[in-house]
Amino acid sequence: MSASGGSMWPLRFIILGCFLPITLSNEAKESPSIGIVGGGIGGTSTAYFLRQLFGDDAKIDIFEKRQVGGRLATISIGNQQFEAGGAVIHPKNMYMVNFTKLLGLEHVNGDMGSFGIFDGSSMRITSNKYRVVTLAKLFWRYGMDIYNIDNWINEKLLAKFMRIYDIQRAGHAYTTVPDLIGAMDSAFLSYMKKSIKFVMRTAGFGDAFIDEMVMGALRTNYGQSTEIPGFVGAVSLAGVQPGLWAVKGGNKQVPEKLVTEAKAQVIQGTVMSVQLLQYQDKTYRVEYVDAEKKEQHRDYDIVIIATPLHDEMSDIDFEDFPSPIENFPQHYHKLTSTFVDGTPNSKYFGVDNPEDLSEEILTCNDTILVNSCGKKTDVLGSPAQVYKVFSNSPPKEDDIKQMFTSKKDIRMFSMMAYPDYSTVGEELPPFVLHDQLYYVNAIELAASAMEMSSIAGKNVALLAYNHWHGSLEKIDEPYADSTSETEKTEL
C-alpha cells in the first residue's frame, strides 16, 4: 500500500508541475494586457466590452493607423459636415442606441424624404407628399407585399435577431459566424446560403417588389443586387424601415468616446505583424511603425484584430504560428461616393419637371452607373443642398455634367466599403484565429453594419473573457432561453 501510495507523489508532482504555472498565470495576473488592431466601431466597442468584463486592471491598447472611427467618418462641404461612411442606424440596434445614450450623444433623423425608383430610363414609382397617396400607389404596384414586408421584417427577422442581446447578456459566445447567427434563429443559417431573391420569393413576395424595392435598397446600402445572401439582404431591408437615425454631430463620435469610456490607450501607428512568442511571459508581440515612422513593438497576453484581413485591405503578417494565418479569400466591394453641392438634372433621372424629382433616388437596374442619389441633411440635421451619389465605378466628368445642372462644389472618393457578397462562399473566417487571438471582422461576411460590428465586438470580448477564466461552458453551447422554456411547459 505504502509503495503505491508513495509512487503517486512523483506523478502528482508532475501534473501539478505542468498545470500550475498556467492556472497561476491566469489567476495571479487576473487582468490581461490586450492589444486591439483597429480603432473603428468594431475595435472600440470590443475595448468597451472588455473593460466591462475584465474590470479596471486590464491594460487595453488600440492601434490605429489613420483615425479612430475608421469607416465612420465625416466629410466637410462648405461649412457643413456629412456622413461619409456608415450613415444610418436602425431604432432596434440596441448597442448603438445604448452607446449613444451612455456617451451623452443625441439623435438626428435619418429617414429618407420623398423617394423614387429609377430603372435607367424612367421612374418605376415615386412617393407623394401625402402618405395615403404613397400607400395607394405602392399598393397598386406591389399589392399586399407592401403590408407584408413590415410584418416579415419585424416578426421573422428583427424579433429573432434581437435574441442575440439576451444571449450575450447571459455571457454566451461563439467561435464561428454561423454559430453566432444560428443562435439567433436557425433559419438565418439558410438565409446566409440562399439569395435574398430566393428567400423572399419563398416567403411569398412578388417579383415586382423584389426587383424594384428590394433591389433599390440593396443597391443603395451595399451597391449589390438581389443575388446577395438573404441574411445581409434582410439587414439591408431593415436599413430602409422607418425610424432610422444618426448621431448628432457625426456617428464617428461613438468610437471616439468609447475609447475614453473603455479607458483604452490609442497608439497611433500601423501594425505590421503579430508574432506568436515562445517561452516568454506574454503570448504575442505586436510590431508596428509609429507616427514618427519608427519600428516599435509591444507584447500582450491577448490580441484582437478589428480590421478586415483580406488582400487589398490588410498586409498584417502573422509570424511563428504552428499553422500559417493568411488573408481570407473573399474580396471587398469598391464603392465611389460623390458629394455634390448643386442641383440635379431631373431629366437624367427621367423626370421632366425638376420640382417632381424625389429627394432620394434609388435605382433598380444594375447596368446603370448610379446606385443611388440622395439629398442629404448635414450631421446636425440641418438642411443642405448637398447630394450623395453612390456608384460602383467613379463617375466621369461628363457623367457629373449630365447628372447636375449646376454645382458649387464636388468631392469624390473611392473605398473598399464592405464585402463583395458574391465572393463570400461557404467557408467563413472564424472569430478565433489562435489561442487568445481573435478576429472581429469575420462578422462582416454575414453582414456589414455598425451594429453587426458591435455584436461581434461583444462576442469577441466574451470569448476572450471566457477563455481567460476557463469558462468553457459558455462557449459554443446552445443558449437555453429560460423564458421561452417556461412558456413551452405551460403550453
Ligand X SMILES: *[C@@H]1O[C@H](CO)[C@@H](O)[C@H](O)[C@H]1NC(C)=O
Ligand Y SMILES: Cc1cc2nc3c(=O)[nH]c(=O)nc-3n(C[C@H](O)[C@H](O)[C@H](O)COP(=O)(O)OP(=O)(O)OC[C@H]3O[C@@H](n4cnc5c(N)ncnc54)[C@H](O)[C@@H]3O)c2cc1C
What residues make contact with ligand Y under the rule CB under 6 A? 37-43, 63-66, 70-72, 85-89, 270-271, 306-307, 314, 316, 335, 337, 415, 417-418, 441, 448-451, 453
DSSP secondary structure letter of residue 155: I
Tell me the per-residue interface mask from 94 to 113 with ligand X, x by CB under 6 A, - otherwise.
xx--x---------------
Q: Which stretch binds ligand X (CB under 6 A): 116-124, 277-285, 396-404, 423-431?
A: 116-124
Q: How many helices (H) and strands (E) does the chain have?
A: 17, 20
CA distance 136 to 147: 11
Residue closest to 183 by CA, chosen among 474, 392, 435: 474
Q: How far is the CB of 161 from ligand X (least distance, A)?
A: 12
Tell me the per-residue interface mask from 260 to 279 with ligand X, x by CB under 6 A, - otherwise.
--------------------
Q: Does 119 bind ligand X (CB under 6 A)?
A: yes
Q: How far is the CB of 95 from ligand X (least distance, A)?
A: 6
Number of residues interacting with ligand X: please give it, by CB under 6 A.
10
SS3 184: helix
Q: How far is the CB of 398 from ligand X (least distance, A)?
A: 15
Judged by beta carbon distances under 5 to 8 A according to partner kind, the member of ligand Y, ligand X, none in contact with residue 124 is: none
Q: How far is the CB of 176 from ligand Y (least distance, A)?
A: 18
Q: How far is the CB of 216 from ligand X (least distance, A)?
A: 13
Site for ligand X in 387-406 (CB under 6 A): none
Query: What does residue 93 show for φ and ψ, rounded to 5 degrees?
Result: -80, 85
Q: How far is CA 430 from the centre of its chain?
A: 16
Q: Does 120 bind ligand X (CB under 6 A)?
A: yes
Q: What is the dihedral of CA 4, 10, 11, 15, to 10 degrees?
A: 150
CA distance 373 to 359: 8
CA distance 23 to 26: 6
Terminal CA-CA length for the chain: 59
Q: How far is the CB of 483 from ligand Y (least distance, A)?
A: 29
Identity of the residue, 31 or 176, whose beta carbon is nearer to ligand Y in the bound complex: 176
Judged by beta carbon distances under 5 to 8 A according to partner kind, the member of ligand X, ligand Y, none in contact with residue 365 is: ligand X
H or E element at residue 324 = none
Q: How far is CA 177 from the centre of its chain?
A: 13
Site for ligand X in 188-217 (CB under 6 A): none
H or E element at residue 340 = strand 332-344
Q: How far is the CB of 489 from ligand Y (least distance, A)?
A: 38
Q: Does 365 bind ligand X (CB under 6 A)?
A: yes
The residues near 220 (Cβ < 8 Å, ≥ 6 apart) are 240, 362, 371, 372, 374, 390
Identity of the residue, 234 or 449, whose beta carbon is nearer to ligand Y in the bound complex: 449
Residue closest to 285 by CA, chosen among 268, 302, 310: 302
CA distance 447 to 234: 9
Q: How far is the CB of 399 from ligand X (least distance, A)?
A: 13
Site for ligand X in 154-193 (CB under 6 A): 165
Q: Does 479 bind ligand X (CB under 6 A)?
A: no
CA distance 349 to 357: 8
Residue closest to 429 by CA, chosen among 282, 264, 273, 313: 313
Q: How far is the CB of 290 from ligand Y (least distance, A)?
A: 11
Identity of the residue, 123 or 262, whose beta carbon is nearer to ligand Y in the bound complex: 262
Identity of the residue, 23 or 121, whose beta carbon is nearer to ligand X in the bound complex: 121
The DSSP annotation for 252-282 comes to THHHHHHHHHTTPEEEEEEEEEEEE-SSSSS
Judged by beta carbon distances under 5 to 8 A according to partner kind, the member of ligand Y, ligand X, none in contact with residue 41 is: ligand Y
Identity of the residue, 94 or 475, whose beta carbon is nearer to ligand X in the bound complex: 94
Q: List 22's β-bridge partners, or say none.
A: none
At position 181, the amino acid (one-letter code) is I
Closest residue to ligand X, based on beta-carbon distance: 120
Q: How far is the CB of 97 from ligand X (least distance, A)?
A: 7
Identity of the residue, 72 or 264, whose beta carbon is nearer to ligand Y in the bound complex: 72
Q: Which residues bind ligand X (CB under 6 A)?
A: 94-95, 98, 119-121, 165, 365, 367-368
